[in-house]
Every structure is written in C-alpha cells, then in structure tokens.
Chain A
Amino acid sequence: MTKTLEIFLGACLWCGIQGLSALADDLDSPTVDLSGVPWSFQPLPEMQQLSTALELLRAESQAVPIDLYVHRKLQAHGLAPAPRAASHRQVRRLSLMLTGLPPDLDIAREFMNDPTDKHYVTLVEHYLNSPQFGERWARHWMDVVRFAETWGYEWNHLVREAWRYRDYLIRAFNQDVPYDQLIREHIAGDLLQNPRVNMTLGINESLIGTAFYRFSETGHDDCVLYPDISLDVMDNQIDTLSKAFQALTVSCSRCHDHKLDDIPQSDYYGLLGVMASSRQVIRTLDLPHQQDELKQQLTVAKEKIRRELAATWMREAESISAERLDELLSSQEPDAAQQEKMEDPLFVWRKMTNLSEGQSWQEPWKAFQSAMETEHERRVVFNRENYVSFGDFSNQKNHWEFEGLAVEGEACFTDPGDFSILPDGPQVLTELLPAGFFSHGLSQKLNAVMRSPLLPENKKFVSYRAMGEHKSVCRTVIANCTLPFFHTNRFDAPKFAWTTVDLAHIRKSPLVRLRSWLEWATALDDQGYPVLNTPQTEYQKLLDNPRSWFGVTQVFAHDVARPPWQELEPQLQVFESSVASPDALAHRYREILKTTIGRWSDGRARESDVFWINAFIDLKLLGREQSISTKLAPLVSAYRALEEEVQTPQRIVGMSDLQEGIDVPLFAGGDVNAPQDVVHRGFIAAVETRIADQVALNGSGRHRVAELIAHPDNPLTARVMVNRIWHHLFGIGIVRSVDNFGDLGDEPSHPELLDYLARRLVDSGWSVKAVIREIVLSDTFRQSSATTSQGKQIDAENNLVHRYQSRRLEAEVIRDSMLTVSGRIDLTMFGPSVDPYRPEDIDSRKLYAGPLDGKGRRSLYLKVTRMGPSRLLELFNFPDPSMTRGRRDRTNVPSQALGLMNHPLVHQQSEVHAGRLLNEAGPSVDFRRSLETLFLRLFSRVPSEVERREYADFFKELASKHGFVSSEDALQSTEVWQDLIHLLYNLKEFTYVL
C-alpha cells in the first residue's frame, strides 16, 4: 500500500486522497432513501467512500484508480484492456489532445529515442504547461457556450470585442483557474466581492465571464411590437446556462412542465426572472485609477487654458460698447424667429435699440422687464407643476448606473463652466458646459455609459436635454432589446436639444412594462453600432475611432406633451437697475460679462455665467480660437499632446443587475399573451433541494444561481465537467450525451469512475488540469486504438473503453496541423479575430473577406461569424453557434474528401511546406532524409523500410506526371514535393488521432 501511494505521488497525480484505510462498512450505511432519485441527482460520494471501494479493487491490481474502474468493467465483460499504443502514437495523441497541435519534430524524435514512462510524464507536464493547452481547452468550452462574434439575424452586428472572452478562457485554462471560480465568473462575474484582476492588462477578469450569456442570435427589430424577440434571447440564455453547467434541458419547460425530467415550468420562469432582472450591456473592463496621473496632468493643463482664456476674454469683454454690439449683431445671420424669443440673450438690446429715435426708455424698459418677469414666473410655475426630476444622476444614486473610463473619479459629473478641449483644429473649445453629466471633460477617448432606472409607469413621457458627437446615443432599452434602431437617438452635434420619449410602449404588455430604461452611451459602448451596411475598410475605421462623447443636463418625467420651458433667470439680470440709453445698456452687458468671466476664471461659475459667456462666444465677441492669445497655442498643444496618450477602454459584452430585480409571470403554453401567476426568481428546484446551505437572493438572483451551481453539494456540476473532459480526451463521454444528464440522456458507462473523477475535481480545488493530468497518465488513455475481433464483438461501440477510440480530428486541429507542419503557423496568442476566408465581402451582412491562410493564426482566432461561417471549418463539423454543442457531430462524408483534395488552403500549405522542405534540405536534396523529416513532423515517426521504398516509387511516379525525367531535377522541384505533401495531408494518419 505504501508502495502504491508512492507511485501515485511520483506520478504527481494523487495528492487529494485521504483516509485510504477507512473502514469498509462506511459504504453500507445509507441514511437517505435515494431509490427514486435519478443517477445524476444522487449526491456525489465522499472520497473516503470511494477510497474504501478502491481498496477492495486494488487487492487485485496495482493500477491507478481510473484503470481500476475501467479494467474491472472490462473484466466483467470478458475483455482485457488493449496494450500500450506505439510510442509515436502516444506522443502524438497526447500533444493533439492537450494542445490541438501535432508534436514538435524534436519532441517526437526525442520520445522516439527514449519512449519511457518517465519521459511520458515529463511530456504530460510539458503540454499541460504549454500556452497552446489553454487555446485547445478554451475552444472546447467555446462550443459549450455557443461562442460567436456576430449577432446574426439580418445585419449581423458585431458582438463587441467578443474575442476578449476567448482570451479570458485561454488565460483561465492555462492558469488552471479553479472551475468553481469560472462558474461564478460566468454567471455573476460582475457581482463578485473579490473579482480576479489581471494586472498585465489592467482589467477585471471576472467581469469577462458574463459575456457567455451574450452570444445568442440577437435581432434588431422592435421589442414593443415583437416581445418574442427578447424572450427568445433569454430562452437561449437559460438553455445555455442549464446545459453548460448542469447538462439539463430547462428550456424544454418554457411551454409546459418537463415531460420526463423533474423540471416544472415554474423552474423555467424562475430563471426567466433572473434573466429579466439583468441588463444586457457592454462592460468596461479596465481597473480604476490607471490613468489618474494622466488625468491629473490633463486637469492641470486644462486649468492653465482656462486662466489664459479668462484673461483674454476679460480683455475682449472690455470692448463691449453700443457700436460694437450693433456691429456684431449686423454680422450675424438674421434669424427673425429666434430674435423674437425672450430666451435670446440680446432680446432686450434688440427691443430697446429698436425704439424710435428720441423715445424715452423708461416706460418700455419697465414693460419688457415686467413681461419677462411674468413670463419667467409662468415658466417656473409650469415647470414646477408639470415635471418631476427622473432620478438624480449627479451622483450614483437611485439606481442610476454609470460605467466607463470617463466616469472614474466622478469627473464626468460637472459643475457649471467646465469645458472640453477640442482634439484638433484652430478652435480651443466649442462652448462652456452647464452642470450635468459630460463624458468628454478630459478626453473624447474616455468612454461613458449612463443607464437610468426603470422608466416610470405612472407618467406619459420622459424628456431629457442632451447633446453629443460621433454617433453617441440615447437608447430606450425595452425588454432588454439592445440593438433596435427604433427608440434610439444618435447624437452628432455639439448642440443641446430636448428629446421627449413617449412611454406608451411601457403599458403594452405585462412583461414589457417591467423592463424599460434609458441608456446613454459613447458610440462603441452602444451594442447596435456601427449600424448599417458598410464596406470593410469603412467599418474598421468606425471601430478604430475611439472618439465619441455625450452630455446630459436634465431628465424629467411628465404628462404634458412637451419638454420643460427654458427659464429666464439669466436674462433677467439685465434688469437689475434701469438703464436709459444704448451706451448704458451696453455697459450693463459688459459688467455682467466681466463678472461672469471673473467667477468662471476662479472656478466659481454659476449656470447663468455659462449662459452669458456662451452667448458672447456665439456672438463672436469672445473668441474661441487659439489665435486670440499668443500664449494659448502652446498650452493647447501641450494639452493635446497629453490627450494623445489617453488609453482607450477595453470592453466586452456582459451583464449587470437591474435594481432589486423583478419576478415574471409564468406564460401558459409559453405564450406571452397568457400570463399566469408571478414566479419567484429561482433556480432548478430539484437541484436546490439537494444543497444543504441557504443561499440568499440578491438583485437579479444571478449571484445565487452561481453559488448554487458552484456549490460542492450540487450533484451535477462536477460530474458534468469531468464528463466533458473525458469526452474530449476519449471522443466518447462516460455519459455520451454530454449536454443532457436528464432522463433522455444516456446512462453513464462507468458510474463509479464518473463519481470518482467528479470527486477528484472538487477535492483538488476544482483543478481542471489535475483531472486531465490524471486521465492522460492512465493506461486507459495510453492504450492502443487497434481493434480486435473480440472487442468488436463484445464492445462494438467501445463504451467500455477496451481500446483508445481512434477518430477524425476536429476541423481546427486539421487546419492548425497543416499550418504547423508547413511552417506557416503564427502562434501569436490573443487579440482581435481574423475574418475567415471568403472570396468577397458581403457588406449587407458584415461578412468580410479574410485571407486564405488566416494570417497563419490558429483556427480559434478566426472570427466566428453567424450567417456565413468559415466554410472549411464547417466542412469538418465546426458547430453552428446557435446552441450548446458539447459534443460535435463527427460526420464522414464525401464533401470532406473533396475539401482536402481541392480546397485552396490545402494546396497553398502544401506549397509552403514544399518550400520549407527544400529550404531545409539545402542544395542537394536527400529523399530519404526529407521523407524522414516529413514523417516526423506529420506522424511523429520515421517511415519503415517498406514505406521508404513505396514513397520513393510514388515520388518517381509523381515526378513523371510532372514531366521530370531526371530524378535530381524532380528532387529540387517544389511542384513534385508539393504533390507529395498534399497527399500526406490527406492521409488518415494525419487527420485522425489514433
């Protein structure tokens, strides 16, 4: 026994086992009657129980637990395990399964020369620690979460920076982030108390997990008319969540109780409430305060500009006189309607100077004063009586939600008189800003999102005063529909305007009423941007432009059908004392302006000061060009140089919680028009009841769902995950139906083995690598794939794993293998995806042409485009990202043969490979040596003597087909080698794992 333990420790795989000497009668003391419970809902046995049982088995064998379980079953069926696979097969299998790439030539050669267990163990560690390990296992998980980078439907909008989720998975699998942590991050990564941070990238890693919800097909149509659109998205989210982590088909219960499994319809609607209580948003990932220093420098630089502007403006204000005002006004474009409005800053001037010559000012002055005061009062009263402030967004209260780099440090909540330095051109600024929320106070490159609480049900309208540029937007998000071009207001001018949102839609349906809010966002933080059909270069330009901004000053809810009146408080300042002549009135304006500039210079500006300064900027009395002072240009240049350094945000689609959360009614028959009783937000009841701890419900309930799934008592979570791992390593799951552990799913072929591995996963601290390590070190993994007549007879489908299951490799592995052996592979990791190969752009679907060889990148870096996928990958069953696909199809059809025979990539890489080979061979090509290199690269072995002869003959035959008479010439010929290599790429020894 001590010896056994040593072997285990030596093999680095058995660290968690405890209580090996536990008593056998522990097994025989069941306390709960579990006879009616389906196998997958049975509690996971403790390791102690398992160990005891293992001890009994071990009396007969010295094998590791995995092999004990498999061998026992084989024995029971009269079968023996297959012998070890040939050493080249072992190394190739290991490399392909762990990294998705064939072994490097040197590794293959070394292992060929030293095919010992010790060497194998070293290789296992090598591949587990290879960066390509994470890529391989990330892609497996991407099938489970139906990863996609476009939203399909019609316009195929880009899922914003979805590739960051792929990178997140690669990092997570490489770092062996505990699986329960990954679960928490996927389901509620935005709600974790202590999120994982990535200091290298400066981001909150945990936040990325929630992107998994967001890969469903998503339409841009109007959710008021078609609420099914949002229900279908949430249905797909529930489906993915329940299949990915629990292998349960909860979405079968959308219309009725599950026919076979213990999943009543209320489970579905409990989860629908969880989804409906979450906002589907774009998250900013950057850790806070990373640009504080730069922001501080910008603030200082801006302050200098303010001082200089103020000094200059003070001088300019001195020039106000009656003549100057006349001159300025006459140079303005006449706008009769505007001039008749009391809002106009120079309304009084126009009216008074329009009086006939010699007429006394006394009476008219009083009349205007009285009229304006009355009007002001009327407006104040009207506004007070008819408008209620809809939340206060000057700070993060009342469920207003703010996100983005501009929001950090609350710099975006501005006092009156702030301003934004224009990033280029002769102008320093556009205007001064009133108090409000402005995203561009320091830089238009800093992003911002502002989300309102749910829109009021008891009011008819909401109005907001806002402006913005570069396609920033205010969207009425209805029923979580994030893409419609309806209900959106895109900003493209630095000019305030009121917008009134009719809330009639809110009263349309019971579900819709519950979920509707306003979202202001800079362009790239809007999910429906860029909007329409754009040629590729244009599209990329839009995505690469980080500049966009918006500002909002007020949001009101009301029943009258118009926005609030503009009050006249600043205008009334003119009437502080009466004046009797144009000169005196001009003097009044001068004094008002100088006072306001003075206050603004000191950073004490009031709203009315902003009004007056902007009025005189508009009049061109106050200049906004750098040229107004010789000192300005260097200050502005300095500012702009600093601003260039501002880092743009790292974003990804994700989720956030919506207020306290809401419960939704159960829809009879799944029909949105047939709401029944409201169902409390929850999780699958049959799972909940098996978890001893109470987990509190907060907000949407996602956090609770995460805790219930990641809970060690959850009978499904670990079983489902280790089964996925087994499935990938062996091609067949212990439970074949990897996404369905319910009644219609398959029974486990080796229930104890499944439980053992699941227990190992939990006890190892949810280490995926530990489980993979233990499996690939087992004899079961290392056995030969050769069939035997006995095996075929007794276990035709290899359910008992009497041999290793040989099978065609996945689409990505075939493509990546070709690129690897040809030498074209570019193992650069991470970053935006490469468009898959397509002959032409299809602008209307945002399907853009990518290079034939995908820039040599591994296949998981090819963009997963809905509506038109990579045809080469699709040919070999790369999954359609509509639904969870834990088990891919593995078809064997003639079109695959055609693909490998004729696809341009296969020919291109044959040619590249031929070039590499001739280059390596040098001036005199030795067929024997070159063939050996080819074999080592492709098959991790050297050819047999028979093969050498056959290939030499074959080469000659090819050479003659190419018209070569001299074998010397043929050996130097790229075309003949290309032909040979093309043949090798078609060999099953290359496209299969054996």
Chain B
Amino acid sequence: MRLSLGAAAPAALLPNGVSGTEGSVRIPHFTPQAKHVIFCFMQGGMSHVDIFDPKPMLKKYDGKQTFNDNIQSQGPGNRKWLQSPWKFRRHGESGLPLSSLLPHLANCADDLTVIRSMRAGLPLHSVGNLFLHSGRNRAGFPSWGAWINYGLGSQNSNLPGHILMHYDEVLPGGMENFSNGFLPAQHQATPLRADGVPLDNLESKDKSVDAQRVKLDFLQRRDRALSDELGGQADIDAAVLNYQLAQRMQDHLPRVLDVGAETSAVHRLYGFGSGDPQKERYATHCLRARRLIEAGVRFIEIVTPPGFSSNGSWDQHGELKKGHEANCFIVDQPIAALMNDLKSRGLFDETIIVIAGEMGRTPHSTGRDGRDHHTSCFSAVVAGGGFKKGFAYGETDEFGMSVVENPVSVHDLHATVLHQLGLDHEALTYRFSGRDFTLPDVEGHVNHQLILS
C-alpha cells in the first residue's frame, strides 16, 4: 500500500476512543467562516494605552498622583499617571485610531478589529501566558492551537497542523504553553525556529539521499515481514507508513519554508533587509506562516523575538520608549505584509489573525519610562476570518484602567475564534480525568458583535 501526497495519514493510536486523526479533516460543528489561525503572540504584554486605546486624560493628568489607593498593580509605591509618548491618529476610511508605533498596520486599519476591552486573570506572566493559551492558570492543559487542531484536523498530512514559530527561548510557563495537555500528543505545537535547521531531526545525517533511501527501503521490508510474521500488526504497519511520511516531510517542509523562493518584491514587503536581525527573523516567520497557510496548516503561533526581558519581549517596566519602539519596528511591517499578502492570495478571509499579549500595561507608573502589568483591561487585535473590519470594540474608562462597556474575556476570545472555525466551544470536548473538558472550561461566550453576520 502506497500513499500519495495529501492522502489521509494512518490512524494514530488514540486513547479514549477519540476518532480524530492527524492528517484527516474533521467535520466542523457548523459552516466555518475560516480555516486557519495565525496568532501573533506579544509575550510580556503590549501597552494598550500606547498603541491601541488612546487616552487623552493621561496627558492631562501626566505626572499626577493616581487618586485611587486601591489600584492593584505590581509593586508598591508612589504611582503617577503616565501619558503616552506616542501620538494617536485616525486611519483609513474607518478612522480607527492607532498610535504612531504601528505605521504599517495603520495602513491596514480598515481590516482590523481592535478589542479594547480584553480582560484576563492574574497579572503575572506565567499564569497569563498559560491562561491566554489554554484558558487555565496552570500548566497541563491543551493550548488552543492543540484544541483547534484536534477539532478540525490537518489539511495536509505532510505537515504538522499546529506550529510554533520561535527562537529557542523558553517563555514563562514553559513549553507547556504550547502543549497538547491531555489531548493526543500529535496536537502539540511543532516548533520551527527562524535560523538554521528549522525543526529538530529534520535534517538527514545519512551519507546521501540515496543511502537513506536504501536503508529505509530495507527497513520497510523488514518491518513488513515482522508484521506479516505476527499475522498483521496495524500499529507496525502505521509506523512503517510514518517513515514514508517522515521522508516526505524531510523533503516537503524545507521547500514550504524556503523563503528564498519568494520574489524580492515580497521580501521588501515583509521588511527583509532592514539590518535588524530580529526583524529579519520575525519577517522570516511571517512569510513562512503565509506559505504554511497555503499548504493547509491550521494553527500557527508566532512569538515575538526575545529582547528586553526574560519575562517577555514586551515587558517594559522600564525603557518603555526604547523597548516598545524596537518591538513595534520588528513586528509591524511583517504582520502588515502578511495580511496584505494573504489578501492578495484570497486567503485573508479564511484566516483569523490574532495579535495579543497575555496582559496590557498600567496607565500609571512609579517612574517616567515604564509601565507595569495590567489585566483588568487591555487590547487585542483580530483580523480576517469573518471578523469585522475597521472596528473598535469595547470601551475602557478615561484612563485605560478598566472596562466600562462590552468586556471580552480570554475565554470569550477563544469561544469566538472557535466559532469562526465552525466549532462550538461547548461541544468541542475531550474526556479526561472524570469529566469532559472544553477549551473555555465552563466560561466563554461567542461574541457575535465582533464578527460579520
């Protein structure tokens, strides 16, 4: 039995009688608006009041003592309002306000939904990262990429369905952020790095392609013989097929990831050649993400290149100006390019792009150039995949301290993204440890105001 490219992979051995298999498309609960997700994770926490949520009051009260003694934030001390060092302007026909930090994304303003009323739990990196990824404060639960891949399966059996684009660093919360948790292990993120060999064990160490083929052919014969000797062993037969798939991945993945195959115009669009090595890596990831989406990958997460803090690139307790400017320089152009590129290929509407950190940053500070952790309100961006365009949702108070209207929880965001993918967040369950688990647990509502009807 030989498999052709793109055919269904052998059924993996799954516990608990789940029928989902790697490489097979599963039928969603209802008609999906989108098929893919690209999650641009801004780990450490982007400052909402400096990028997405303009607060003129901060200018008025800049340097003045905060009035509320009960301001819950990291660290004690003398907290004063801090105005944004950046100017906001309205963009596009929609007039969506964005700060000068994101000049390229500003050109895409009419495609964005800015959720200004995001809320998360504890203002801590590890908890926040795990919560944003899995809807839980603790490690051990499936990442949303794993859930989505479990729910929909992969469109391309030669590629993993859940990909993490990284830089060999370990974020707070650990690799557990990208874990399959209790879901079958093939749903965990496959990590791809920007430099060098993108995936561990991808590169053959055999003398030549030919030598490898000789070995694998012999291997297959011997394994088949063993299976036959034992009356036919489905598990061994499946493992034999996996070697074929592996070989194809070896061949296929480098080609999919080869950004050199793109024109110099595309390279310019994504911001290659800026001289900033981190931007080069981020642009590589973004361009590869587009190529992977074309190849049918379900869920791609791109993390921000490490820079200013081991707790997350955006964690600017100090050096806010320097840090946020550098980070925005790195991510702005590649993400905007990715959106335009997807659009020009007709993939934008079937791809959900999420731009979010695990928290926002305090509108006040103990210093003059830094902001601390803030989870009672922050901003996230969603685009494509049937989300509204040129739209700001939710309202925060005059200082950007808390949500006054239309709150959106992390669970709501998860539920809404699942919904756009055709998945009912209450029906997408997995039985483990005595109960049926879902991504948003017992919480989470689809927010229909965020999506095009």
Contacts and interface: CB of A to CB of B under 8 A. Distances in A.
**Per DSSP, are chain A's interface residues mostly helix, strand or loop, or mixed?**
loop
A890 B223 CA distance: 19
B250 A786 contact: no
B11 to A, nearest CB: 9
B232 interface: yes
Contacts of A225: 72
Interface string B366-390: 0000000000000000000000000
Contacts of B235: 806-808, 892, 992
B185 A877 contact: yes
A895 interface: yes
A533 interface: yes
Interface string A877-912: 100101100010111111111110111100100000
Nearest to A236: B138
Given A226-B124, A891-B186, A252 B137 contact: no
Contacts of A842: 169-170
A868 B168 CA distance: 10
Contact of B185 (A219, A740, A807, A891): A891
Contacts of B433: 239, 243, 249, 251-252, 739-740, 883
Interface stretch (A11-19, A315-323, A980-988): A980-988
B140 A249 contact: no
A898 B246 contact: yes
Interface stretch (A98-106, A152-160, A698-706, A815-823): A152-160
A894 B156 CA distance: 13
Interface stretch (B56-64, B107-115, B173-181): B173-181
Interface stretch (A200-208, A271-279, A563-571, A955-963): A955-963
Nearest to A805: B235
A987 B222 contact: yes
Interface string A780-804: 0000111110001000000000000
A814 to B, nearest CB: 12
A867 B236 contact: no
A602 interface: no
Interface in B123-154: 124-127, 137-140
B382 to A, nearest CB: 28
Interface in A722-748: 739-740, 742-745
Contact of A901 (B204, B208, B222): B204
A866 B171 CA distance: 12
Given A898-B249, A898-B250, A979 B176 contact: no
Interface centre among A153, A892, A898 (most CB of B within 10 A): A892
Interface string B185-196: 110001000000
A808 B179 CA distance: 22
A897 B176 CA distance: 23
Interface stretch (B213-221, B279-287, B353-361): B213-221
Contact of B242 (A883, A897, A962, A992): A897
A871 B190 CA distance: 12
B431 interface: yes
Nearest to B241: A894
Contacts of A891: 12-14, 184-186
A228 B253 CA distance: 43
Nearest to A975: B207
B139 A889 contact: no
B5 interface: no
Contacts of B249: 894, 898
Given A152-B174, A889-B184, A892-B239, A958 B214 contact: yes
Interface string B217-260: 01101110011011111011011101101100110000000000
Contact of B175 (A792, A867, A982): A867
Contacts of B174: 152-153, 156, 845, 866-868
B230 A994 contact: yes
Contacts of A496: none
Interface in A812-849: 840, 842, 844-845, 847
B310 A880 contact: no
B230 A893 contact: no
B1 interface: no
A902 B204 contact: yes
B325 interface: no
B434 A740 contact: yes
A987 B221 CA distance: 10
Nearest to B191: A871
A152 B139 contact: yes
A993 to B, nearest CB: 11
Given A153-B126, A901-B204, A895 B246 contact: yes
Contact of B218 (A742, A869, A983): A983
Contacts of A883: 140, 182, 433
A153 B203 contact: no
A799 to B, nearest CB: 12
A954 interface: yes
A228 B12 contact: no
Contact of B310 (A792, A844, A907): A844
A894 B243 CA distance: 6
A259 interface: yes
A377 interface: no
A618 interface: no
A232 B138 contact: yes
Contact of B201 (A251, A903, A950): A903
Contacts of B170: 842, 844-845, 847, 867-868
Contact of A249 (B14, B208, B434): B434
Given A787-B233, A893-B22, A897-B239, A221 B124 contact: yes
8 contacts: A221-B127, A882-B139, A882-B140, A891-B12, A891-B186, A894-B242, A903-B200, A958-B211
Given A784-B230, A988-B227, 14 more contacts: A217-B139, A252-B434, A258-B434, A806-B230, A842-B169, A866-B139, A868-B170, A883-B140, A889-B15, A891-B14, A891-B185, A892-B242, A894-B246, A904-B205
